[in-house]
Amino acid sequence: MTRRPYDNTRRAEQARLTRRRVLDAARALLVERGPAAVTMRDVATGAGVSAETVYKTFGTKAALVKDVYDVTLAGDDEDVPMIDRPEIRAVHAATSPQGVLTAYAHAARLISGRTGPLLAKLLAAARGGDPDLAQFRETINRERMVGASGVVRHLAAIGGLRAGVDPAQGADIVWTLIAPEVYELLVGDRGWTLDQYERWLAQSFIDALT
């Protein structure tokens, strides 16, 4: 029997809704308990699905954790690359050095606000010796460098990078300033507001690069 297009669309939408429920349940549990105390069965129970469904959808706990992070980073599960998200498009649409860097500080504020509670638990586990999460940390560090390098290249392209600042070193500076560890120290430990964090970040970018 040939499956009708409507049936395929309905199945795909049901699968997406199930995946979203699993991701939401996993994120809540990871933030509440930390990754060491969360099993795939816990996630399945929280999402109201079978453990088999969770394994079939994500394969491993490490893959599930990365998918939770990716969706949290983006803010939704739409298939839209970060570079095409409004907050990042605003960075590359800016034509003045200060415009570029204040827009990037705003993007970093939005991203850190979404990912901060989750990353605090995941990175603590990575430092505690979990090999999967140590690999996760290396992966997100590489991904953060892609973004940092991109903003420095754009800054250089519009003539906004200060003479004598090596682009690679500039990318290292941005990469460090937007690190989740820095966000956790200032917002988590010192109690800064997100507005304070964003203003500090923008001024730090401007002082270091322009």
58 and 117 part of one domain = no
In a domain, 32, yes or no: yes
Number of domains in the chain: 2
In a domain, 74, yes or no: no
- Between CA 83 and CA 60 the distance in angstroms is 27
DSSP-based three-state secondary structure for 110 = helix
DSSP3 helix / strand / coil % (the chain, rounded to 5): 80, 0, 20
pLDDT higher than 80, residue 6: no
Domain housing 184 = 82-209
107 and 53 part of one domain = no
In a domain, 159, yes or no: yes
In a domain, 189, yes or no: yes
Tell me the pLDDT tens digit for each residue of 133-181.
999 999 999 999 999 999 999 999 999 999 999 999 999 999 999 999 9
What's the mean per-residue pLDDT of the chain?
A: 94
pLDDT at position 186? 97
How confident is residue 2, by pLDDT bands cut at 50, 70 and 90? Answer: low
CATH number, domain of 132, equals 1.10.357
In a domain, 183, yes or no: yes
Residue whose structure tokens are 């519009």: 158
In a domain, 71, yes or no: no
36 and 119 part of one domain = no
